[in-house]
Amino acid sequence: MARHPFGPRVGRRTRNRTYTILLAVLVIGVVIAFYYGPFGKNEADPIDTPPQDDMNVYPTAANESEIPKEPVVTQEPKVTQEPEVNKMTASVPPVEAEKKPELPKIAPEPAPGPTVEPNPEASSLIAEAAALLSESPNKIVEARDKLNQALRMPMSPQQRSSVKDQLSVLSDQWLFSRNVLTDDPLCESYQVRSGDLLTTIGDKYKVPFEILMTINRINRPESLQAGLPIKIVKGPFHAKVYRSTFTMDVYLQNTFVKSFRVGLGKPGMETPTGLWRVKTDGKLEKPIWTNPVDGKTYHPEDPDYPLGSRWIALEGLSGEAKNRTGFAIHGTKEPEQIGSAGSQGCIRMHNGDAILVYNMMFPGLSQVEVVD
């Protein structure tokens, strides 16, 4: 018996083809929608790359390497030129950033000594002296004596330096001027008599005639005129040398006059401490000198003559100086060594200062004390 073509199997095959066709159409539609929809774009396509403005403003280190470098350089040149050190120091406080380095010191600072407070009694005398000077210029002698009294007291270094400065200024008025101040026991007016010589007048008052010429503005000793008054000072002058500060203080009797800077003996040839006296025949102008170290003799006309303009020979009386000779106060051709230890033991001075001290020191009477 033959099978009927439109039986059950034929119907099932027809339905299966229909489902297959529908499924294929559906798949094709999904593929087309996916391709042309928002999910089908190729991220590698440069046309669809997001604009630069939509990128992360603070990229990570990895992202920074992907950013083209040339546009960054052209757009922000200051960033590439700014030194790294500026970025690092931007948070440093301005006060610290503006600090200047300390300048090197010319010489090592001395070890700090014990603190010395200002002496109230000395302060009182200093104030009294200032009041006298402001009251009247005729009170110079009284003010000088007040300050000199204060100088003999223990006091702070600042006080002592101030007092010496004030006394030095006053000495130009009571000592080195031609004026004789009232009630000054150290100076007086002298009426020149016929036959007087400056040397004999100086000997009488224990001062060199040169200081009388300096004070009275006398150019030549022979120009002294009988019947005219001159100012005389009552000596002798003395000096005190401080090795620690390279200074020399000069006194008229016990009254401070002036301070000078000096040079002293170098290590191994230190200027001996103790009391010295100006030798009787020890004051000379540019003497011939033989160096005791190498035996070389120097004459004043030699270009390397080392003694300057004056020589004041000393003889030792006590302390380390006792019985010592060969030492002197003199000028120098090396002014740069004043204030240092560079001599063979002598006391060096600037030539102008050496002349002034020479004019004040009286042979056989003026003493020089050297202390530390």
In the three-class reduction of DSSP (H, G, I as helix; E, B as strand; rest coil), residue 151 is classed as helix
CATH superfamily of the domain spanning 237-371: L,D-transpeptidase catalytic domain-like (2.40.440.10)
Q: Which DSSP helix (H) or strand (E) runs through 328?
A: strand 327-330
Give pLDDT, residue 118: 84
- Domain boundary assignment for the chain: 119-174, 179-235, 237-371
Q: Residue 24: what pLDDT? A: 60
pLDDT score of 117 = 80
| Residue 185, pLDDT score | 98
C-alpha distances (whole Å) from 125 to each of 116, 139, 159, 173, 302 are: 18, 14, 11, 20, 52
pLDDT of residue 137: 85
**Which residues face 341 on adjacent strands?**
264
* For helices 120-135 and 140-151, angle between their N-to-C axes, nearest 10 degrees: 170
Q: What is the pLDDT of residues 243-300, one digit of tens each?
A: 999 999 999 999 999 999 999 999 999 999 999 999 999 999 999 999 999 999 999 9
Instruction: Kindly report the CATH number that applies to the domain delimited by 179-235.
Output: 3.10.350.10
Q: Which residues of the chain have pLDDT under 70?
A: 1-116
Task: Tell which residue, 239, 261, 247, has the closest CA to residue 336.
Answer: 261
Determine the pLDDT at residue 214.
97
Q: Output the pLDDT for position 288.
A: 96
Looking at residue 38, its pLDDT comes to 44
| pLDDT score recorded for residue 71 | 39
119-149 pLDDT per residue, tens: 899 999 999 999 999 999 899 999 999 999 9
pLDDT of residue 18: 56
Backbone angles phi, psi at 355, to 5 degrees: -65, -45
Contact present, 147 and 193 (Cβ < 8 Å): no
Q: Which amino acid, one-letter code, is at 112?
A: P
**Predicted TM-score (pTM) of this structure:** 0.69
